Amino acid sequence: MLAKRIIPCLDIKNGRTVKGVNFLNLRDAGDPVALAKQYAENGADELVFLDISATLESRSTTIDMVRNVAEQIDIPFTVGGGVSTKEGVELLLKSGADKVGVNSAAIKRPELVNELSKAFGNQCIVVAIDAKQVDGKWLVHLAGGTIPTDLDLFEWAKEVETRGAGEILFTSMNNDGVKTGFANAALAQLSETVNIPIIASGGAGTIQHFIDVFTDGKADAALAASVFHFGEIAINDLKQELKSNKINIRL
């Protein structure tokens, strides 16, 4: 049976891991390759690297990091953050990334999703969506969640599926960094809306939150950062606990 996936997310800047709380106040949490290796050994099913570098110079450091990660770890990983061109995606895939995440660039020019999935196959195109619930409506945000758009989360998700996304990584900005659980109602609605896998992001604080996101939230995968980076939840313990709650998981 297909297992639910646990995905640590590593935010990368200048070749180092950082994690924002509500996208601000970055804290350093270590060397990405060493962390990646440790997570793979501890039972992570996949990894996501989010490049929050601003400069081109820093981005070339990311390509080196992608190569190093691909050389050393034997589980799949996605790289996202600032990806906006077919050439950029190709370079990441050629450096050893299994999947590439696109976000703002797809909102600005939705045809990019068609072009990428046609060129590289939809299995390696993850569309990341940051959304915030405002007056009961889930609005998609641009640029790491800083700029609101008038796009509706569910309509946008449907659109990127039609355009060839292989997977959706949905981050609830209401939940991100506050550790009170995932946005399960929105996640469950998302799973009803589209027929591609959904990675839930934003809100993990306890093991119970992961149980809830796989049951109530119907997520295919759950992503978290700080609870893993700072050792608040050990992936092995988390997976044991999920298994004893009858959630199908790879041990």
Partner 1 sequence: MNVIIIDYGAGNIQSIQFAFQRLGINAKLSNSIDEILSADKVIFPGVGEASQAMQMLKKSKLDLLIPTLKQDVLGICLGMQLLCKHSEEGDTKGLGVFDVDVKRFSNAVKVPHMGWNTIQNLQSGLLKGIPEDTYMYAVHSYYASIGKQTIACSKYELEFSAALQSDNFYGVQFHPEKSSKDGAQLLQNFLNL
Phi, psi of 200 (to 5 degrees): -90, 135
Of 129, 136, 132, nearest to 165 by C-alpha is 129
Q: CA 136 to CA 77: how far, in whole Å?
A: 34
Selected catalytic residue, list 28, 45, 98, 130: 130
Which lies closer to partner 1 via its Cβ, residue 167 or residue 212?
Answer: 167
> For residues 149 and 170, is the Cβ–Cβ distance under 8 A?
no
Which lies closer to partner 1 via its Cβ, residue 167 or residue 176?
Answer: 167
Q: CA 204 to CA 223: how far, in whole Å?
A: 8
Q: CA 87 to CA 42: how far, in whole Å?
A: 34
Q: CA 173 to CA 162: how far, in whole Å?
A: 24
CA R_g for the chain: 17
Q: How far is the CB of 211 from partner 1 (least distance, A)?
A: 18
Q: How far is the CB of 130 from partner 1 (least distance, A)?
A: 21
Summarize as ranges the residues that interact with partner 1 (CB under 8 A).
1-5, 40, 45-46, 70-71, 74-76, 93-98, 118, 120-124, 166-167, 195-197, 220-221, 250
Does 11 qualify as catalytic in the annotation?
Answer: yes
Does 152 qualify as catalytic in the annotation?
Answer: no
Q: How far is the CB of 184 from partner 1 (least distance, A)?
A: 18
| 102: three-class secondary structure by DSSP | strand
Which lies closer to partner 1 via its Cβ, residue 71 or residue 135?
Answer: 71
Of 3, 4, 27, nearest to 221 by C-alpha is 4
Q: How far is the CB of 224 from partner 1 (least distance, A)?
A: 17
Which lies closer to partner 1 via its Cβ, residue 184 or residue 226?
Answer: 184
Catalytic residues: 11, 130
